[in-house]
Structure 1
Amino acid sequence: MLIKNGKIFTMTGKNYENGCILIKDGKIVKVAECIDIEDDIIIDVKGAYVTPGMIDAHCHIGIIEENMGFEGMDVNEAVDPITPHLRAIDGINPFDGSFKKAIKAGITTVVTGPGSANVIGGHFAAIKTHGICIDDMIIKESVAIKIALGENPKRIYKGKNKSPMTRMATAALLREALIEAENYLNKKKKSQQLGEYFEKKIKYESLIPVIEKKIPLKAHVHRADDILTALRIAREFDLKITLDHCTEGHLISEHIRKSSYPAIVGPTMSFSSKIELSNKSFETSVKLMKKGVKVAIMTDHPVIQIEYLPLCAAYAMKEGLTFEEALSTITINAAEIIGIDDRVGSIEAGKDADIVVFNGSPFDILTNTLYTIVNGEIVYNYN
């Protein structure tokens, strides 16, 4: 397949006012001003905007299903505050109608997983939005383990009259689980060295990739003090972490900058439904990025419907981001923060051919998606 005559935003630092993209076997082969081929599918986009497939770095698509109620609500196993062994891939329904809306909007990759009821919620997965079998849609089965600080665990477990009912207990339970995971890993290594039988425990096995810094903690943090607690614990245990929601991040932007950890900001278009959202603002992404923090923007679908991801970035652009900065928050920045930028997030040779063609700026409410391409296959066509 050849896409030609496109206004291509590659997210690599080099754009094309009138360029071409060659695709073969689901991968991008070449990006250039002019590519001549014969006997292939040629799409002349006639000056339309061409971007990488968009990425929602934090949502619950397929786990909270539309039109389903309790039957499709698989997001929170709110009976135990420590559930690192839950895996998003076991709860995602690829037939959730929201996936079609994502494709139509040009969103080709999502990071979806458990909610924030528990102190440790489980594994988030990065998947493509097109497919009928979750195993075929996976980019990376586990990109992070969800943790939650702040109001949500307090509220959930106060109703059950059990810990945690305070921020102190939430942090303590998290530390306790991490220490137990470290002890478990040390015992496992010692048993392996001695050739002794070792009884595996699924909760601690699930935390090993975090302890070994192979994947980050994905921290649900809204308020400034909760963000700082997450940073404190990450330092204590020498862990990777992403600051998800990061609602009051702009109030402590210098502390976040010094930490070198990235932020996944949102859902900013939503109603301020609780106290910890009091300082919610579209300026958050702008102020953090101006400080040098790597930022992605998310919908937290269904809090904001998945198809409005570009609009969320557009509002941040309205507050001061440039076009390419705004686009980066839902393409390359998101991919790099998640750890899947070897496959998606930019238009360059060797990456998955996930590409979107728009008849105008993706940040204009009146723009239509002309084509959505996933793995080199046209999965949405406006015509």
Structure 2
Amino acid sequence: MLTLGALFLITGCTPKYASFEDVSKGNFKEADWNDLEGFEQDDLEHAFMVFKRGCEKAKRKAILKKACVQAQDYVSAKEFFQSNFTPYKLYDDHHSDEGLITGYYEPLLHGSRTKTDKYQYPIYKEPNDLVTVNLSAIYPELKRYRLRGKLVGNTLVPYASRGEIKESENMEAICYVDDKVDLFFLHIQGSGKVQLDTGEIINVGYANQNGRNYNSVGKYMISNGLLKEYGGSMQAMKRWFEDHPEETDRVLNVNESYVFFHENDQSATGSLGVPLVAKRNLAVDRKYIPLGVPVFIQTRNPLTKEDISQLMVAADTGGAIKGKIRADFFWGYGKEAEATAGRMKEAGKLFVLMPN
């Protein structure tokens, strides 16, 4: 027979979460503004600017339409956020409020418009035989999913994997770069810059993907003991590839996902469709965090170990960014950004600001 105390413990261990079924599958629990430690000390004016920039695209989304209109009428950033949003803390399915925060950056590669012995690794445009199917037209419940492949006769089959993709009449290169490992990390980051042998610097951004599942090469290397003497950072992976050139292709091809690019006039542009702002934009799993919403993050800098408590905007996605409490912190462009992003694997908490 259960005692009243035992019954309370059983029933009380499952918190009641707020539901946002139309826009998220996340577990949300309403928070008080005082729970956002560091909110008032943050540069909220900068965060407000980034939010308004995101409204160029986000205002098309029903959840943000009203807030984006209201943003034009406020002078005080703090007043705007607290008047138009309610903070909700994210929880996972085990009722923990702590998840994983990694970092990403905009890399600089070196290349040429012409393939040579030095510049031989192509940055491909989206191939003309890649077919992308939007399933929502037939299955509305699958609106967040895309089916990718190629037609063989009347049958849609999986597109070639990373290891299978070769130069052909279906492939056109934007340019060729001098390092296959740097190219691989460009695929992971989703956008970057290439300094050509003419001195010109061009921007390349995500255009599409081959439809294959993303498999973490880093996790593979760690689980197989390859990085035992190197460490677990991106920089450690690069050192291993430098020391084992004969194994590079085999290990990189563990990740069958392959990204195609387009050349554009502006720096890194996220999935929201606006240029990313260093240290103010996050890549998220859009199943749980809608693009365009403000997100208050509590984590720490992987190099200095200083706390990071600031308001950001969800503006990007990524093949490796999956989970209820999961985010990728955009550090910007350059060597410092690369050094920080490549080492970031920190615990963190996320408060999503949902429009009232």
More helix by share: 1
- The higher relative CO (CA closer than 8 Å, separation ≥ 6) is in 2
More strand by share: 2
Same structural fold, with TM-score higher than 0.5 when normalized by the shorter chain: no
- TM-score class, shorter: under 0.3
